[in-house]
Amino acid sequence: MAAADNFPSYASVVVIGGGVMGCSTLYHLARFGITDAILLERNQLTSGTTWHSAAQVRALRSTQNMTNLIRYSISLYSELEAETGQATGWINKGSLSIACNPERLVHIRRQESLAGLFGVDASSISTAEALERWPLMNADDVLGAVWSPDDGRVSPSDLCAALVKGAKSRGASIFEDTPVTGIHTEAGKVRAVETNRGTIQCDAIAICTGLWSRQAAAMAGVDVPVWPCEHFYLLTKPVDGISGNMPTLSDHDSHLYIRDDSGGLLVGCFEPMGKPIDPDGLGEDFAFALLDEDWEHFEPMLENAMHRLPVLETAEIKMLLNGPESFTPDGSFLLGEAAETRGLFLGCGMNSVGVATGGGAGMALARNIVDGQLPFDMHEADPKRYPGCWNNVGHLSARVPEVLGKHYEITFPGRQMSSARDLVRLPLHDAWVEQRAHFGQFYGYERALYFDKTSEPKLTFGKPDWFDQVGTEVRRAHEDAALFDQSTFGKILVTGADAEAFLDRVCANDMRRAPGRAIYTSMLNPRGGIESDLTALRLDATSYRLYVGTTAIKRDLAWLRRHLRNDEKVELVDETRDFAVIGLMGPRTPAIVEAAGAGELNRLGYFRHDEFDIAGVAVRAVRLSFVGEAGWEMTCRAADAEKLYRALAAEGARPAGLLAQTSMRIEKRFLAYGHELDTDVDPLQAGLGFAVAWDSDFIGKQALLAAKDSLPAKQIVTIVFDDSSAQPLGNEPVLLGDRIVGKTTSAAFGYRVGKPVALAFVEADAVNAGAAVEVDIAGEPRRGSVSLRAAFDPAGSRMRPA
Ligand SMILES: Cc1cc2nc3c(=O)[nH]c(=O)nc-3n(C[C@H](O)[C@H](O)[C@H](O)COP(=O)(O)OP(=O)(O)OC[C@H]3O[C@@H](n4cnc5c(N)ncnc54)[C@H](O)[C@@H]3O)c2cc1C
């Protein structure tokens, strides 16, 4: 496609990168009325990763909204030809997932249940039925299969051509051979892009530069932890037994995906450990190029493939295609506005689902640019979810090969990455090592999941290896005194003459409380959805300390900064790493603080905080609890944390880990961001109306007022399972009779009630207190009873202020 001569000096939106993400974003911008949007591609359209994609489109993802993005793609890809006259090559032949061991069978059955929940057609079929759909397959070791008829594949180049045609017909322009060489920002906002053909002023930029996105975003001072790996598929010449198009065959136990290609076979792999690539080594002219074949690396996969498809032993090999694809530290992509720079939008790091997701993701990114917010919650793709420590070449190149390998691994509960660990140690790290902690990585931190680890846990969908240790820790907090390390809370100091007015505007609760009060609140978007839930300690007339979720710090700081008016006298300081937080919880804690010389803590009222001296450590303690046992969260300087811990431990308090905390939070029906709460859920649906100050004028109030007088359509309930051997994990369908009426959002064994417990979002008018429901756990209905209250609510440990 030749570049047009009339190179603009202004465009409201500049899309950088002409792969599927850029083309889809441009198309949707034009559809949403941004008809002067332009796309700049340094080589030719699709010349990066998109052109050689296997381009399979499988709808099911781990959340409803991620799945909806792909379902959107599927309808777009099947309809674009009618709109543009350009075929997309959409072929709808379905997909088949096979299981060759019992744990995989549970995994694919869980996926089948999830599909039911998300409205995706998927059903279990027998091995014989699977063989009918893929007669070339050796099914000797196949235990079962799940069939998804709506899946398919597309031609990536044709798809992009159709998107571009649709965009151009609405006024958008495309310039090839036009590298973006610089991004200008001013006062934290994008202003222009620099190219080899001149500078273009703009209001917004979409970075859709695939594996080059880390470098592209760096031009605007933005961290994008994206790094490429080599990705292989084998192509054969035509083989007997392939006629026409066939379903995609997913043999994830063998790390393989398989489909027909021009009468032959295409066999791709996500091998257990990928090969990272330095993107700088590819060169700027890397266009329609491939990487070298690596038969030695592929050989174990070839063996797996020959086992599954004996016909491969005689098939003539066309090539071993090796193309680069970008991956991120957690295996999910980046979609949305960057924290650091306003007007800089990211649609990149697609982790091998760029073609499947591209249609929907481009739509969502365009909506974000046009409306200022994503059309629905996408917190798992939020670019602000990464700490700065991830944007490090050493960490990225160590992590992404494992991420590639995890793509097809069974998602056992408690699964952790083993590469790029030990990035950030918490103040009590050494003390926790002494206590034989098993660590998990969250936001780069090493957090203690449980203690007294005896060996590396074996992961399973059954009773977890750590069941007894977590039980001991819960009992500790319930019967004695436990110490929880909560230092990963983000901590934001808000100071200034206008701090109160500012927070009262951005938070839904009444922030005008007196110094010494703690305030549980949320920050809402204009739809009333919860952007963050947090606890604020009012320190004095002009200062507050906000405690936000571990992964929320970057997002919340960006949100606060964006809502600060130019004339407001407010300063925001990130104090996260300066302070540690130790939760001391349990019935023996009053005696412990007494013995530690801080008996006056016992006179602190609920949701009150003050400064104390414990064993020579200056502590700000607040009387509240996230676990449903009376206690305090104690903040001290990070350097003093170990001294404080040892003083409390000397009086008999013992550590408890994150898994114990989670189990207790679920029993106590405390809600957690990313589980029960997200940007689609408002405080009324979440039962957090008590934390809304109707007499304040806060962001999101209009939306809440509109919803206030009608019963929310969904409500959060507790489900206590009848059978203590049930293993709910969250994200399972809740059934009333045959009908799906909701889904579990968090689940754990509740040690204080002796039964598994789940929190669930259910249809409010269908599910009442006392109702008997079933939860579909990997195809097995497990009975439980519904309550509108906490499964466990010990007297004397009220979380809410009186
Ligand atoms: C072998 C293989 C098989 C795959 N199979 C599947 C599959 O079955 N299903 C699926 O969904 N996904 C699959 N993928 C992944 C999918 O192809 C990618 O996720 C997707 O193509 C990425 O698209 P993109 O637009 O983000 O990046 P790209 O297609 O790489 O586009 C980025 C563009 O940005 C341009 N660019 C970079 N820097 C600049 C600059 N400074 N100025 C201007 N332009 C710039 C580049 O030239 C490039 O054209 C596969 C990938 C590989 C490698």
For residue 802, what pLDDT is reported? Answer: 27
Mean pLDDT of 596-607: 96
Could you tell me if the CB of 329 is within 6 A of ligand 1? no
Could you tell me if the CB of 267 is within 6 A of ligand 1? no
Indicate the length of the chain as a whole number.
802
Could you tell me if the CB of 59 is within 6 A of ligand 1? no
Q: Is the pLDDT of residue 386 over 50?
A: yes
Torsion of CA 13, 17, 21, 23, to 10 degrees: 70
Q: Which atom of ligand 1 is nearest to the CA of 180?
A: 42
**What are the residue ranges of helices labelled H in 518-622?**
553-562, 589-595
For residue 5, what pLDDT is reported? Answer: 62
Q: How high is the mean pLDDT of the chain?
A: 96
Nearest CA to ligand 1 atom 13: 352
Q: Is the pLDDT of residue 440 over 80?
A: yes
Q: Is the pLDDT of residue 798 over 80?
A: no
Torsion of CA 645, 650, 656, 658, to 10 degrees: 0
pLDDT digits (tens, 9 = 90+) for 511-524: 999 999 999 999 99
- What is d(CA 275, CA 295) in angstroms, rounded to the nearest whole number? 13
**In the chain, what are the helix, strand and coil shares in percent, each to the nearest 5?**
30, 30, 40
For ligand 1, the distance from its centroid to the CA atom of residue 449, given in whole angstroms, is 37
pLDDT digits (tens, 9 = 90+) for 261-300: 999 999 999 999 999 999 999 988 999 999 999 999 999 9
Nearest CA to ligand 1 atom 26: 210
Amino acid at 359: G
Nearest CA to ligand 1 atom 4: 53
Mean pLDDT of 650-679: 97
Report angle CA 63, 48, 366 to the nearest 5 degrees. Answer: 45
Nearest CA to ligand 1 atom 14: 352
For ligand 1, the distance from its centroid to the CA atom of residue 652, given in whole angstroms, is 56
For residue 284, what pLDDT is reported? Answer: 86
Mean pLDDT of 693-715: 93
Give the list of residues 6+ apart from residue 372 with CB closer than 8 angstroms, or none.
none
Q: Is the pLDDT of residue 797 over 80?
A: no
- Axis crossing angle, helix 64-84 with helix 354-371, rounded to the nearest 10: 90
Could you tell me if the CB of 429 is within 6 A of ligand 1? no
Mapped onto helix, strand or coil, the DSSP state of residue 318 is: strand
Could you tell me if the CB of 683 is within 6 A of ligand 1? no
**What are the residue ranges of helices labelled H in 427-527?**
429-434, 467-479, 499-506
pLDDT digits (tens, 9 = 90+) for 79-130: 999 999 999 999 999 999 999 999 999 999 999 999 999 999 999 999 999 9
pLDDT digits (tens, 9 = 90+) for 524-534: 999 999 999 99
CB atoms within 10 A of CB 731: 19
- What is d(CA 195, CA 197) in angstroms, rounded to the nearest whole number? 5
Mean pLDDT of 582-604: 96
Element (H, E) at 147: strand 144-148
For ligand 1, the distance from its centroid to the CA atom of residue 349, given in whole angstroms, is 9
Residue 41 contacts residue 20 (beta carbons within 8 Å): no
Share of the chain above pLDDT 90, in %: 96
Q: Which atom of ligand 1 is nearest to the CA of 20?
A: 25
Could you tell me if the CB of 518 is within 6 A of ligand 1? no
pLDDT digits (tens, 9 = 90+) for 214-267: 999 999 999 999 999 999 999 999 999 998 999 999 999 999 999 999 999 999
Residue reference for tokens 């204009």: 526
Could you tell me if the CB of 17 is within 6 A of ligand 1? yes
For residue 708, what pLDDT is reported? Answer: 87
Letter string b/e over residues 763-798, b meaning 16 or more CB atoms within 10 A of that residue's CB:
ebeebeeebebbbbbbbeebebbbbeebbbebeebb
Could you tell me if the CB of 661 is within 6 A of ligand 1? no
Give the residue from 369, 61, 416, 424 showing the smallest Cα distance to 202: 369
Letter string b/e over residues 465-486, b meaning 16 or more CB atoms within 10 A of that residue's CB:
bbeebbbbbbbbbbebbbbbbb
Mean pLDDT of 353-380: 97
Could you tell me if the CB of 231 is within 6 A of ligand 1? yes
Give this prediction's pTM: 0.96
Q: Which atom of ligand 1 is nearest to the CA of 216?
A: 41
**Band of residue 710 on the pLDDT scale cut at 50, 70, 90:** confident
- Axis crossing angle, helix 156-168 with helix 64-84, rounded to the nearest 10: 70
For residue 685, what pLDDT is reported? Answer: 94
